[in-house]
Amino acid sequence: YDHFFIEHNKGHHRDVATPMDPATSRMGESIYSFSLREIPGAFKRAWDLEEQRLSRCGKSVWSLENEVLQPMILTAVLYAGLLAFFGPLMLIFLPIQMAFGWWQLTSANYIEHYGLLREKMSDGRYERQQPHHSWNSNHIMSNLILFHLQRHSDHHAHPTRSYQS
- 76-134: pLDDT as tens digits: 999 999 999 999 999 999 999 999 989 988 988 898 889 999 999 999 999 998 888 88
What length does the chain have? 165
DSSP codes, 68-86: THHHHHHHHHHHHHHHHHH
- At 56, which helix (H) or strand (E)? helix 31-56
Q: Are 111 and 135 in contact (CB under 8 A)?
A: yes
| pTM across the whole model | 0.84
Q: What is the mean pLDDT of residues 61-74?
A: 97
Q: Are 34 and 133 in contact (CB under 8 A)?
A: no
pLDDT above 70 as % of the chain? 86
Enumerate residues 6+ apart whose C-beta is below 8 A from 79: 90, 94
